[in-house]
Amino acid sequence: MNIINKIRNILKGIYIADRFYYLGTVVVFTFILGHFIPVVYIVAKSALLFFIISNLLNIILLFEKDQPIQPERIMAKRLSNGDRNKISISIKNNYKFEVEVKIIDEIPFQFQIRNFEIKTKLKPGEEKEEHYYLRPTERGEYDFGKINIYVLHAIGLINRRIKFDFSGITPVYPSYIQLRKFELLAISNRLTEAGIKKIRRVSHTLEFDQIRDYVKGDDFRTINWRATARRTHLMVNQYQDEKSQQVFSLIDMGRTMEMPFNGLSLLDYAINASLVISNIAMYKQDKAGLITFSKKIHTILPADRNKIQMHRIMENLYRQKTNFDESDFENLYTTIKRKVKQRSLLLLFTNFEWEVSLMRQIRFLRQLNNNHLLIVIFFKNTEVKKLVREKSYSINEIYVKAIAEKLMYEKRLIVKELKRYGIQSILTEPENLTVNTINKYLELKAMGKI
């Protein structure tokens, strides 16, 4: 019974290599030719004998071990949305001879990769690590399947196919790779490397920290003359940035935010940016909060600065999905009025394509700006920009270009209209959203407006 099972397993594991067909074709052609030339017939019989023996030897060598290859998929417990995530496959050769290996990893269907394979050679006992990268464009659960290994001996006629069950669910979270990148740059004071501007402080709306000895280079305006008179040498007041200001990310989850750019929706760009700006705000000793809305309020996370706040923000952002409703800004205003009592910085991630769509919501935005500092963040249509730059050669192309220019003009009108009502705005390309939002936040901090 064991022998039968062994044979069955061998038959299941046999996978014919391309060389098998090529050599088999040569043998058959030689036999046909041998009917006309006797000498060739003798060569054909020798080739057939070699063909049979080599295949039997190949099968014996490949199937002598139960665990000839040891693979392992190495990856993070969660993937970062919109980023290149490194996936590694470690593979060890337990054979006593060199083999050619073809690795086919069963990648989640969301990536629509149908021709994935990695080819490599392994010496006896060698362990090697191969890498590939995946860029998810949707949050959610991704199902990785089995790892299929095809082993080929130097004889190269028969492959041994081995399946390894490494299947499992891996969640895709908002861009924590981008989060870590900006966090490290902020800690090391290298934010300028990511395009963050150095902004000179133009305000003294700071909190008093302590009185200390004057050091060369200190601002003369901070000299404390009373303390100087008592100590008989110059003393200065030391200030620090005002802390515990509230910074709320307001994320519009209406249907206008589902527009895709470079694979990601505007909603996902907003989610990734709000994650980073929340972390930067907490690094600057401010409190970070979150409100997501469409027709109704989906999430309200009060502003805080404790250790688990970023985890709360991450988990809430991971679950956000649009229901393609029209966003209710009146509901947003009443919720903020009821829930947010302290004056706060409100970063509203939304999208207006036409001036008329802004005017329907302008009174609610003005009321929010009266009680808080509101920044309306919306998006340039980069595809429309490309159309405007292209040359037109036909009536249809001229018509399309005119509409594209009209759309770009509408965006500029929206910025102008918001400014007329004293509301600050950021009109940005989706890929520059995070950098432009951080720049605006740091600018407002430097001006002492929050």
Cβ atoms of 351 and 409 closer than 8 Å: no
Banded model confidence at residue 225, pLDDT cuts 50, 70, 90: confident
Do 252 and 358 belong to one domain?
yes
Structural domain span for residue 137: 69-173
Query: What pLDDT does 156 receive?
Result: 67
Answer yes or no: is pLDDT of 176 > 80: yes
Do 312 and 191 belong to one domain?
yes
Answer yes or no: is pLDDT of 1 > 50: no
- The percent of residues above 90 in pLDDT, for the chain, comes to 44
Q: Is residue 375 part of a domain?
A: yes
Q: Between these two residues, 187 and 109, which has the higher pLDDT value? A: 109
Residue range 169-189: mean pLDDT, rounded: 82
- pLDDT, tens digit (0-9, with 9 covering 90-100), for 156-170: 677 788 889 988 999
Do 330 and 345 belong to one domain?
yes
Answer yes or no: is pLDDT of 191 > 50: yes
Banded model confidence at residue 268, pLDDT cuts 50, 70, 90: very high
Do 319 and 407 belong to one domain?
yes
- The percent of residues above 70 in pLDDT, for the chain, comes to 81
Sheet-wide strand order for 158-164: 14-16, 158-164, 147-152, 99-105, 118-122
C-alpha closest to that of 48 among 29, 62, 68: 29
Do 255 and 376 belong to one domain?
yes
- pLDDT, tens digit (0-9, with 9 covering 90-100), for 324-367: 888 999 999 999 999 999 999 999 999 998 899 999 999 999 99
Answer yes or no: is pLDDT of 108 > 50: yes
Q: Between these two residues, 165 and 13, which has the higher pLDDT value? A: 165
Q: Is residue 189 part of a domain?
A: yes
Do 38 and 84 belong to one domain?
no
Answer yes or no: is pLDDT of 235 > 80: yes
C-alpha closest to that of 162 among 170, 172, 152, 173: 152
For residues 237 and 287, give the distance between their C-alpha atoms in angstroms, rounded to a whole number. 26
For residues 260 and 327, give the distance between their C-alpha atoms in angstroms, rounded to a whole number. 18
Alpha-carbon distance values, 162 to 9, 54, 66, 102, 146 (Å): 10, 21, 10, 11, 10
Do 127 and 195 belong to one domain?
no
Helix (H, G, I), strand (E, B) or coil at 325: coil
176-185, 232-241, 260-269: which range is least confident on average?
A: 232-241
Residue range 408-425: mean pLDDT, rounded: 93
Residue range 260-280: mean pLDDT, rounded: 92
Answer yes or no: is pLDDT of 143 > 50: yes
Query: What pLDDT does 88 receive?
Result: 95
Query: What pLDDT does 195 receive?
Result: 62
Paired strand residues for 349: 251, 377
Query: What pLDDT does 332 receive?
Result: 95
> Looking up tokens 């069950």, which residue turns up?
165
Q: Is residue 132 part of a domain?
A: yes
- DSSP characters over 368-399: HHHHSEEEEEEE--HHHHHHHHS---SHHHHH
Q: Is residue 391 part of a domain?
A: yes
Q: Between these two residues, 153 and 137, which has the higher pLDDT value? A: 137
- DSSP characters over 333-356: HHHHHHH--S-EEEEEE----SHH
Query: What pLDDT does 330 receive?
Result: 95
Q: Is residue 59 part of a domain?
A: no
Residue range 219-241: mean pLDDT, rounded: 79
Do 216 and 110 belong to one domain?
no
Query: What pLDDT does 279 receive?
Result: 92
Banded model confidence at residue 399, pLDDT cuts 50, 70, 90: confident
Question: Which of 240, 258, 289 is the last residue before a domain boundary?
Answer: 240
Q: Is residue 133 part of a domain?
A: yes
The structural domain count of the chain equals 4
- pLDDT, tens digit (0-9, with 9 covering 90-100), for 46-61: 766 776 777 777 777 7
Sheet-wide strand order for 79-80: 79-80, 168-173, 140-144
Do 133 and 226 belong to one domain?
no
Q: Is residue 415 part of a domain?
A: yes
Do 83 and 34 belong to one domain?
no
Do 93 and 191 belong to one domain?
no
Answer yes or no: is pLDDT of 14 > 70: no
Query: What pLDDT does 428 receive?
Result: 93
Answer yes or no: is pLDDT of 13 > 70: no
Q: Is residue 60 part of a domain?
A: no
Alpha-carbon distance values, 374 to 293, 298, 305, 422, 444 (Å): 16, 20, 21, 9, 11
Answer yes or no: is pLDDT of 139 > 50: yes
Do 324 and 437 belong to one domain?
yes
Output the pTM of the full model.
0.78
Mean pLDDT, rounded, of the chain = 84
C-alpha closest to that of 85 among 201, 160, 180, 182: 180
Alpha-carbon distance values, 2 to 6, 8, 161, 263, 383 (Å): 6, 10, 20, 53, 65
76-85, 154-163, 226-235, 302-311: which range is least confident on average?
A: 154-163
Q: What is the CATH number of the domain that holds 81?
A: 2.60.40.10
